[in-house]
Amino acid sequence: MMIVPPLLFLATAWLSTVVATDAVQSCPKISCAQLKAPNVPGAQVISINGTERWNYTVPATPPFLLNPIFGLNICEVDVVLTHPNAQDQVHVKVWLPLQKWNGRFQANGGSGYAAGTFDLTLGPSVQGGYSSASTDAGVTVNPLSPGAWALRPDGSVNLDDLTNFAYRSVHDMAIVGKKITEQFYGAKPRYSYWNGCSTGGRQGMAAAQRYPNLFDGILVGAPAINWATYVVAEQWPQVVMAEEETFPSPCELKAFTDAAIAECDELDGIEDGVISNPDICHFNPYRLVGSKINCDGAKIIITESVARVVVKMLQGPFGPSGLSLWYGLTVGAPLDTLANTTVVNGKRVGLPFFVNDAWIRYYLAKDSNYNISAIDYTKLGQLFSQSAAEYDDIIGTDNPDLSRLHSAGGKLLMWHGLSDQLIFPKGSIQYRTRVERLMGGSAKVDEFFRLFLAPGVDHCAGGTTTGAVPSDPLKALVTWVEEKQSPDTLPAEIVHSCSGAKMGRILCPYPQIAQYVGGDKNSANSFKCI
């Protein structure tokens, strides 16, 4: 079964209903055509073009944008810039509401190997009243592969483009967006925000660590914090299947996920198809050995070798010495994206996820034709070390020292689905723990950085999400920044896949979890943080 990659690697832009509550200069001071090239430190603007668009429509583009956005009246500004000696051309697109600007600026993140998705995130942002920006970082907007820009003609890695993708474009986009906003309205944005998930979450963390004065509030979902590390760890399920010479079908893998949920669902006091706290779920995959399941009309018996594959996927990658390299998949999470397979000539074989596949080929092997299926346990450990050594300084965003962000008064709101099958949530938990150790403990860190975990929620709320998805985390961030009201909970909803019925829930700041305390099981009021 081939899984459509973008479905599980979303660049979620959360549309907030928040509007300015005091007087805001919402009318343009100059026309689009009068806008001048902004000064961008470290870069040179090549061109700028502004165009008014009235009653503009952003069409639905599932899974990124599920519903079309109609009736936008905007000034669309296209800025192209370059960096000295880089031979790059970076496109920054800024949308400015022609009416009812809310006084805020919002920069939007990307997805996969794309630093931005332009209209698909700009549309919701402008609909919410923000001036907004998105960028291609000079590396195209193809989220599926860096093949067009990763390597130079001589086969070496294009470090200029990688630097743009990793962090430099975040700085340039924010500077361009805020200066264009100020020109157009004759006033600086009162507040500036970052909004992104996955790659967009990683970009937000780059802003928090490298450019702590750019944004008043940073919203990051499922952040790819440890890119150089976790991307190689994503290859682990494929290596396990090859080494064990066992390639379970998606149906078999789902049986293990379903069994784990059935066993641990009610540990939180309520049966809702969600494991609220995977740490206390002691599911043993070997218990399924010998059981029969129905896969597309055929009866299949779960074998010990299949159970062993699942056990190792949950354990996570380890090196030749037996030491753990990184985290594994969370119990109860879907398994079939990283352990994806396909049938070739009647034989089931592995089919790696596009992100780890491309990273290993282009950045580690530096060969687009590299035989990734030949990677064994020893080789994966070598690739793991190589990736961290060569690229963590460029694309890593795991520096726990957020003192400059704290001093600048910035707020960081992070959320991560506990059933994320692409970016392992324990990486976010580890990061939060490291920040606490460095910066004075949980209470101190809570003043400016909060992590919310969403049980049963897949990557960026895509895929097979069954848990409660945060309803409007951007609104919570805006309230935190502007009204000094820290988010003690995040409102969330479970939407029934068939009926569309909604169940209210709350998400709690780590390390608290939501506990059912009695009453209506569909109401958020029946839960409290413990």
List residues with catalytic annotation.
198, 420, 459
Among left, alpha and beta (phi > 0; psi -120 to 50; other), residue 33 is alpha
Candidates 482, 354, 490; CA nearest to 416 is 490
Kindly report the backbone phi and psi dihedral angles of residue 148, in degrees, each rounded to the nearest multiple of 5, phi listed first. Answer: -80, -15
User: What is the DSSP-derived secondary structure letter of residue 301?
Assistant: E
CA dihedral 179, 86, 400, 114 (to 10 degrees): 80
Q: Are 509 and 488 in contact (CB under 8 A)?
A: yes
**C-alpha 527: how far from chain center:** 27
Which has the closest alpha carbon to 449: 419, 409, 418? 409
- Crossing angle (nearest 10°) for helices 236-244 and 304-315: 150
* DSSP state string for 474-499: HHHHHHHHHH----S-EEEEEE-TTT
The alpha carbon of residue 411 and the mean position of all alpha carbons in its chain are separated, in whole angstroms, by 18
Distance CA 422, CA 199 (A): 12
Under DSSP, the state recorded for 111 is: B
Please give the backbone phi and psi of residue 252, each rounded to the nearest 5 degrees, phi first.
-65, -45
d(CA 172, CA 92): 8
